[in-house]
Amino acid sequence: MSTIVEKILAKKSGKNSTTAGDFVVADIDVVFAHDGTALLAIESMQELGINKVFDPNKVVFFIDHAAPSPSPQISNIHLAMRKFAKQQGIKLFDVGSGICHQVLPEEGYVKPGSVIVGADSHSVTHGAFNAFAIGVGSTDAALAMATGKLWFKVPETVKVIVDGELRKYVMAKDLILNVLSIIKADGLTYEAVEYHGSCIKNMGVDGRMTIANMAVEMGAKASPMELNEPTELWLKQRIDVIEPVKADKDAKYYDEFFIDASKLEPLVAVPPNVDNVKPVREVEGLEVDQVFIGSCTNGRIEDILTAVKILEGKKVRVRCVVIPASRRIYMDAIKKGYVEKLVRAGCTVGPPTCGPCIGAHMGLLGEGEVAISTSNRNFTGRMGASSSKIFLASAATAAATALEGKLVDPRKYGEKL
């Protein structure tokens, strides 16, 4: 009668079983931090008088949020991270490697059934690979780095069943925005969410990562998915042992939701709330100043290809910034000719980084400017000036909008999709 989370935490805490509400101390398989959180974790370790990480092979650093560095102050943070990583013998993915949530699974650090702790709220992304992955604060990350263990309250799990096929021009981003509109921004506070159904079973890795990534926007602690065939094939190129964890058929869920994927349409989250979701057709015509296609939510090859299919042979009318989520994706996009096509369309293609998503650099908004972004948050001032506005959408909607300079339903374009 166990959910995925209950099974993983039972195994990692040495128990026969766990139930929602139990408190456990679990072994950590991987703990990671980036240039927005690592320095605080390092300082916390020092304050605790701890000089060594528990296992250099299980602690990973990323310089990704403001990379390349846009200021001397941030450069100093990068220097401190490099120094600590060298002293401890831990792996550091430096400038240009990509966003932590994309690079970690690409490099084989994420395995089904593992416990992944990241000093970043979007660490839930790794639930796409059948893992219990959570975001924690820098102090908890420091404890995990030092001891290889953390205590958890086993969360209750909500089950979301998604059947049917997504129609043309409707993407995984539209699906998760639809879920957000139903469950709301605080609907899963300290709960886990499992996705089931034919749509999820047949979905590729890119789409699954998008859905898992935005679980935290509902307050979810984790978003573990059962392993499907496309994801297993993807993992087999990176790891040797795959031991999937499935929920029992009689697992007890706190709540259940059903979604018919075939009825979904292109959606947009209207600022300043992620759960203020409307059909794109209802807000068409809104003039925009910038389009951003990238981030740990939608900077993958599926998103870039979607943009290329809509933009190829045409010209954008507004600033359009495209940022691949990792060096691997960047190289893939170059080899396939996607980057050249985007540049010819008038886009600016940047190196792998979080950049504008978190208001660090490479595309910040000025006073009163409006952006369409494929990222995960549209909070006031997140991408620049406090009076700017961010509308969240899929890569298809973003690319179509770039062509007209105003919000538009992608079904108007993209006949080649």
Q: Are residues 221 and 340 in the same domain?
A: no
| Whether pLDDT at 415 is above 90 | no
**pLDDT band, very low/low/confident/very high, at 142 (cuts 50, 70, 90):** very high
| pLDDT attached to residue 414 | 53
- pLDDT tens for 79-136 read 999 999 999 999 999 999 999 999 999 999 999 999 999 999 999 999 999 999 999 9
Between helix 301-311 and helix 327-335 the angle, nearest 10°, is: 40
Beta strands in 48-130 (DSSP E): 59-62, 91-93, 115-118
Q: Are residues 62 and 156 in the same domain?
A: yes
Do you know the residue count of the chain?
A: 417
* Mean pLDDT of the 36-45 span: 97
Q: What distance, in Å, lies between the first and last C-alpha atoms of the chain? A: 42
CB-count burial class (<10 Å; 0-12, 13-18, 19+) for 163 = middle
- pLDDT tens for 272-303 read 999 999 999 999 999 999 999 999 999 999 99
Does residue 359 fall inside a structural domain? yes
Calculate the average pLDDT of the chain.
Answer: 97
Which residue type, as a one-letter code, is found at position 368?
G
| pLDDT attached to residue 113 | 98
Q: Are residues 252 and 274 in the same domain?
A: no
| pLDDT attached to residue 160 | 98
Q: Are residues 331 and 188 in the same domain?
A: no
| pLDDT attached to residue 47 | 93
* Nearest CA among 271, 263, 270, 349 for reference residue 303: 349
Q: In the listed set 260, 287, 312, which residue is the last one of a domain according to the structure?
A: 260
| pLDDT attached to residue 413 | 81
* Mean pLDDT of the 158-171 span: 96
Global model pTM greater than 0.75? yes
* Long-range contact set of residues 380-384: C-beta below 8 Å, sequence gap at least 24: 380/271, 380/272, 382/357, 382/358, 383/292, 383/356, 383/357, 383/359, 384/356, 384/359
Q: Are 40 and 140 in contact (CB under 8 A)?
A: no
**Structural domains of the chain, count:** 2
| pLDDT attached to residue 132 | 98
Does residue 417 fall inside a structural domain? no
| pLDDT attached to residue 222 | 98
Q: Are residues 331 and 250 in the same domain?
A: no
Partners of residue 102 on adjacent β-strands: none
Q: Are residues 312 and 202 in the same domain?
A: no
- The rounded percent of the chain whose pLDDT value lies above 90 is 98
Q: Are 391 and 282 in contact (CB under 8 A)?
A: no
* Mean pLDDT of the 336-345 span: 98
- Specify the CATH number for the domain of residue 193: 3.30.499.10
Task: Answer positive or negative: Cα dihedral of 244, 250, 256, 259.
Answer: positive
Q: Are residues 254 and 274 in the same domain?
A: no
Query: What 8-state DSSP symbol labels residue 121?
Result: G
- pLDDT tens for 232-280 read 999 999 999 999 999 999 999 999 999 999 999 999 999 999 999 999 9
* Mean pLDDT of the 45-54 span: 94
Q: Are residues 149 and 250 in the same domain?
A: yes
Q: Are residues 144 and 169 in the same domain?
A: yes
- pLDDT tens for 389-404 read 999 999 999 999 999 9
Beta strands in 132-236 (DSSP E): 132-135, 149-153, 156-163, 191-196
- pLDDT tens for 176-229 read 999 999 999 999 999 999 999 999 999 999 999 999 999 999 999 999 999 999
Q: In the listed set 260, 293, 314, which residue is the last one of a domain according to the structure?
A: 260
Q: In the listed set 260, 281, 304, which residue is the last one of a domain according to the structure?
A: 260
Q: Are residues 149 and 215 in the same domain?
A: yes
Q: Are residues 126 and 22 in the same domain?
A: yes
| pLDDT attached to residue 416 | 44
- Which residue range is the domain that position 29 belongs to? 4-260
